[in-house]
A and B are shown apart, each in its own frame.
Chain A
């Protein structure tokens, strides 16, 4: 027993140094050398100011921006979280009907069945940076009106969505998606004066 106890303490100390100090520092060293931007959070700098991370969704509810998904934590990452409402939850039912109303109100001419599911339901992390390409296209009319774009510019906007859209990885993994922050950055850049 006593020998076992002493060995326990010693090997625990050795493995703690190996797995808890050397290993994470080694990975940090490699990651910071080979892909520092990604290891540091894929941060985006505009005019020398960090305006967010490509991976962390931001709240967009303005009419002149592409809007992001509903979020149970309102895109506050401390801490991340979902609603955890069950599939028969009354509260979830109320929330989604409210979101349907909002969508129809702000995007004229769109019927309830056409609204993509991710725009009515909150994500698991509360920080989902993406929406589907369909959800982006459905917002074009609203943004055209809010930014008073010409029909030519409207077509440019549609093209912009195509450029920002990420297809499934290796064309079969995951889903096609549009990064809302990147799209809105491109939107601001292209239509500076609108």
Chain B
């Protein structure tokens, strides 16, 4: 690694830390209804949205109504996107005359984008029309991220309110997240991207006669607008097949840097918003630091793996699946960040990463997408581990477990366990099934340990709502489309529903004042315990599976 490699990494994390309180403070104002700069610009459109949709923005609801609203809204979005794909040939804005998508691929894509995963079994430029990309996918990019933020807000209100029965209004949270946070940031970002060379047009595909005399057809489309929200909303679904490795999707080192920053920006800032909402910035920063430590540790291992010589090839490092303009460091930084946050966009092919770098990507997802994680989803996923840590620490020292002055009871721990186990279960069961069935194995591009990693990665990515892939696996088959769709749903709603239940139950509780006997959750001791719980839970659940995949492959490679 050179000095400029270290400089890029340092600048990346410095900007992330500096921007966290700036954006986090702004979001606090937005979500608590305080006046802020954007109210003057977007206050009227906000009111108009409420009027058109029949929403009473100040009417608060209990957790069940909140959950029903969320589920119905997601269901409608999914059905709309599904239908759009299976009739796209009959609809306008399809200059490449792409045929209708098969029902199982359309179902998988619809669920995948609704759940903020953006797993893609298809290739954008040869499968979806411009209309589906913008009217279907772009919309889900926004609202699935807003849904994640809404769940987090409900949970935080549940934790910070005293003997309350309501958690806020889902429609208001959804609208404000979209209108005041995601949309303005996307507009600015999309314009910057277009200025660097990301395409944004509605032209038909351009046929050219190349300099050396071959024919090439260059795809077009409204890409910049979708790519901006794809990065900011931790969605990750590329406009093109190879995502941000594609030169039209990520043309320069600057776009690469900004796209990487956009991945973590909102998830990181939400830890600050959380701290501010519960009335203690230290609570937020403690979680931020835990996430940062886990992220940087993973990055160090991944960089070590990628820069170590691969004895099978006589080259010092492998450029397979990587772009010249990004090189090794930017490819590994991206692969670590995109899997830590549940973004899942890629700028290099993860399938071709060294075993250790690939394993870090896998572990980031297996730990439950809590290292910053998805927009909203990362922090509410982290709260599962916070509750477990408080519970375990309480058992160890013989105190009643408390979080922010609220007693953690059997119900909360049960819900946290359900949230934790549901994802593990689908990952391990489906991986095992695919590994021993002919229809599972026939999709593999690589054999042996690496082939197993391809399958494990697919279900982990789906259940973790990440969406990146060891793309050698041909997942566009009936078997994979359906089992992955199921994993996507469990990974999303198997966590959201228990978390909203916890929010509802916590809201009703009284807050006991802090005393000398209170177990603090805003210091290094707690941070250390939290890291230990995350690693032990993740390690115990997945170590056997990891040892069959990347661990064996690494040992075979250095043999």
A residues at B contact (CB < 8 Å): 1, 4-12, 14-16, 18-21, 23-24, 26-28, 30-32, 34-35, 38-43, 49-62, 65, 69, 75-89, 92-93, 96, 112-113, 117-118, 120-132, 168-175, 177, 181, 184-185, 188
Q: Which of B286-294, B309-317, B513-521, B527-535 contacts A (4 or more CB under 8 A)?
A: B309-317
Please pick, from A32, A42, A62, A96, the residue contacting B197 in the complex, using a CB distance under 8 A: A42
**Which A residues are in CB contact (< 8 Å) with B557?**
87-88
Complex interface residues of chain B between 503 and 559 (CB less than 8 A to chain A): 553, 556-557
- Can you list 10 pairs linking A and B with CB atoms under 8 Å apart? A15-B142, A15-B178, A19-B141, A20-B139, A28-B200, A39-B200, A58-B211, A80-B125, A82-B321, A88-B312
Q: Are B472 and A27 in contact (CB under 8 A)?
A: no
**In this complex, what residue of A is CB-closest to B356?**
A87
Assembled-state Cα–Cα distance A113/B218 (Å) = 35
Question: Across the interface, do A27 and B450 meet the contact criterion of CB distance under 8 Å?
Answer: no
* Interchain CA distance A23-B214 in the complex, whole Å: 37
Are B222 and A88 in contact, with the CB atoms below 8 A? no
Which positions in B face A, CB cutoff 8 Å? 4, 7-8, 49, 52-55, 65, 68-69, 72-73, 75-77, 80, 123-126, 134-136, 138-139, 141-143, 171, 174-175, 178-179, 183, 186-187, 190-191, 194-203, 205-206, 208-212, 214, 216-220, 222, 224-226, 228-229, 240-242, 245-248, 251-254, 256-257, 310, 312-327, 330, 346-349, 351-355, 445-446, 448-450, 453, 470-472, 553, 556-557
Residues of B within 8 A of A7 (CB): 53-55, 69, 171
Selected contact of B196 from candidates A28, A38, A89, A112, CB within 8 Å:
A38
Cα-based distance from A78 to B175 in the complex (angstroms): 37
| Docked CA distance A7–B319 (Å) | 51
**A19 close to B138 (CB less than 8 A):** yes
Residue of B75, B179, B313, B321 most packed against chain A (CB within 10 A): B321
Which 10 pairs between the two chains have the least Cβ-Cβ distance? A174-B253, A84-B472, A124-B245, A79-B123, A86-B450, A31-B194, A173-B253, A130-B324, A121-B320, A11-B53
Asked if B354 and A78 make an inter-chain contact with CB atoms under 8 angstroms apart, the answer reads no
In the bound complex, what is the Cα–Cα distance between A175 and B201 (angstroms)? Answer: 29
Residues of chain A contacted by B216 (CB below 8 angstroms):
52, 56, 58, 75-77
B257 near A188 with CB under 8 A, answer: no
**Please, how many angstroms separate the alpha-carbon atoms of A140 and B212 in the complex?**
18
Q: With A84-B472, A123-B324, A181-B211 known to touch, is A12 a contact of B245 (CB < 8 Å)? A: no
> B212 contacts A60, CB within 8 Å?
yes
User: How far apart are the CA atoms of A56 and B124 in the complex, in Å?
Assistant: 16
Please tell me which one of the listed residues A32, A61, A131, A185 contacts residue B324 in the complex, with CB atoms under 8 A apart.
A131
Chain A residues near B217: list those with CB within 8 A.
76-78
Q: Which of B175, B203, B254 contacts A40 (CB 8 A)?
A: B203
| Chain B minimum-CB-distance residue to A9 | B76
* Chain B residues, CB < 8 A from A81: 123, 241-242, 471
A87 with B318: CB separation less than 8 A: yes
- Residues of chain B within 8 A (CB-CB) of A122 are 320-321
